[in-house]
């Protein structure tokens, strides 16, 4: 069989698929990164969806299952249901994004997000930005992480200096936090009706993805959200808080 590597960007995959016709050998695996855990089984329909910009929501759910423990997911669900979201939660989200393939990797799996993924690539944004944001959060005290409203001018200068960043970068991070917090509150209202709870249980319940979880239903739900991910926004434009982040004046 054939193993396709360097499939981090699915755009080049179209030409590589012709190998099947030329060699007559089936494609078994695709490599989406440099480490062994980035090796995935080849699923023709899902890869075609990524190439066409239709996303692969099932792969995103599987990544989430591999990355986020059920206990963490349960705690996250309870906080989201209450509309709670502090800097510790944001740090955890950023770390999960890196583990799940980074910004471009996650956007490539979300229906309708292909164009934004290209904008991120063209803008030269990579996972170092996520690491810089994590560094800013780590530069805060425990009290500041739990209560972001405490971050006034003097504290901002100390935090930015400790992370080797600019105050303007911290302001962008805080803007991202506010937007994500607003989204969590909206998702919390969804939770009152049981929708959020069912979705979280479906994704992180024992035994992995339930047999009755319809991939088409997952894609329909993602489209209903407008192709949005917490903290990434939706539609046109770059993710909030990322444009110009970390760039020196």
Q: Indicate whether 11 and 87 sit together in one domain.
A: no
Q: Indicate whether 62 and 40 sit together in one domain.
A: no
Q: Indicate whether 67 and 185 sit together in one domain.
A: yes
Identity of the highest mean pLDDT range in 107-111, 148-152, 193-197, 214-218: 148-152
Q: Indicate whether 24 and 135 sit together in one domain.
A: no
What pLDDT, on the 0 to 100 scale, is given for residue 211?
40
Mean pLDDT calculated for residue range 49-67: 62
CA–CA gap between residue 100 and residue 128 (Å, rounded): 15
Q: Indicate whether 33 and 106 sit together in one domain.
A: no
40, β-bridge pairs: 30
Catalogue the long-range contacts made by 163-169 (C-beta closer than 8 Å, 24 or more residues apart). Answer: 163/132, 163/135, 163/136, 163/138, 163/139, 164/135, 165/132, 165/135, 165/136, 165/246, 166/248, 166/249, 169/132, 169/136, 169/245, 169/246
Query: Two tokens at 15?
Result: 């030409």
Residue 95 CA to chain centroid, in angstroms?
A: 9
CATH of the domain at 147: 1.10.260.30
Q: Indicate whether 85 and 168 sit together in one domain.
A: yes
Q: Indicate whether 110 and 14 sit together in one domain.
A: no
Q: How many domains does one find in the chain?
A: 2
Q: Indicate whether 22 and 133 sit together in one domain.
A: no
């Amino acid at each position: 069989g054939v193993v396709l590597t360097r499939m981090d960007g699915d755009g080049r995959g179209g030409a590589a698929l012709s190998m099947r016709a030329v060699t007559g050998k089936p494609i078994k695996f695709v490599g989406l990164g440099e480490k062994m855990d980035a090796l995935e089984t080849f699923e023709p329909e899902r890869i075609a969806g990524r190439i066409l910009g239709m996303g692969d929501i099932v792969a995103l759910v599987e990544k989430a299952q591999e990355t986020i423990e059920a206990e963490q997911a349960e705690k996250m669900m309870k906080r989201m249901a209450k509309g709670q979201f502090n800097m510790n939660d944001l740090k955890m989200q950023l770390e999960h994004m890196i583990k799940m393939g980074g910004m471009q990797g996650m956007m490539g799996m979300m229906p309708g997000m292909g164009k934004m993924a290209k904008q991120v690539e063209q803008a030269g944004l990579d996972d170092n930005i996520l690491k810089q944001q994590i560094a800013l959060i780590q530069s805060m005290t425990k009290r500041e992480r739990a209560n972001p409203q405490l971050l006034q001018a003097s504290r901002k200068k100390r935090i930015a200096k400790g992370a080797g960043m600019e105050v303007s970068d911290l302001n962008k991070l805080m803007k991202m936090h506010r937007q994500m917090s607003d989204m969590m509150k909206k998702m919390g209202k969804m939770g009152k009706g049981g929708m959020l709870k069912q979705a979280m249980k479906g994704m992180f319940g024992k035994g992995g993805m339930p047999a009755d979880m319809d991939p088409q239903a997952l894609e329909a739900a993602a489209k209903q959200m407008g192709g949005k991910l917490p903290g990434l926004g939706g539609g046109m434009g770059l993710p909030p808080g990322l444009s110009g982040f970390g760039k020196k004046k």
